[in-house]
Amino acid sequence: MKKQKFSLVLSLILIILFSSLSVLAQNKPAKIGIQNDKKVEMNSSPMEAMNTYLIKFPHNAENCIATLDKISKDSPELLSKIEWGCKSGDHTGYMIVDSKNEVAALQMVPSSVRSDAKVEKLDKFTMAEIKSLHQNH
């Protein structure tokens, strides 16, 4: 009898464990790697280049609190990822994200402030690129 109860409990534990692993595998975060000096999402197919974007949330002093309220209500987790210039008089929020393209980057912005958001692709320069720029001028 004890052996049967033990087997039943062990079976239930294994079922729960494997069910949890299955759910986790479906919700796994994107793995980012480097390919040809570009960030790529390793678990997408085919591998797509990831670019870096600066998202700006401009607003004025009059609607500063309303902008903060909208973002904190619609995407509270986003609040910790945005750097704000409001306290120094620059009423703009800044967020740097990695995304497949500008449209996907903009989709990371809550719809309540998306129409005012600006997205700019960021790049890095190598010494060779800077040298090439000098030669072409």
For residue range 103-117, list pLDDT tens digits in order: 999 999 999 999 999
φ/ψ of 38, rounded to 5, equals: -125, 145
Check pLDDT > 60 for residue 86. Answer: yes
Spell out the domain ranges in the chain: 50-128
Beta partners for residue 93, in sequence order = 57, 84
Verdict on whether the full-model pTM lies above 0.75: no
Residue 32 to residue 6: CA distance in whole angstroms: 43
How many residues are present in the chain?
137
Check pLDDT > 80 for residue 48. Answer: no
For the ranges 15-19, 30-34, 41-45, 113-117, the lowest mean pLDDT is seen at 30-34
Q: Rounded mean pLDDT of 20-42?
A: 47
- Give the architecture (CATH level 2) of 50-128: 2-Layer Sandwich (3.30)
Q: Are 123 and 61 contacting, i.e. CB atoms less than 8 angstroms apart?
A: no
Token pair listed for 13? 């534990």
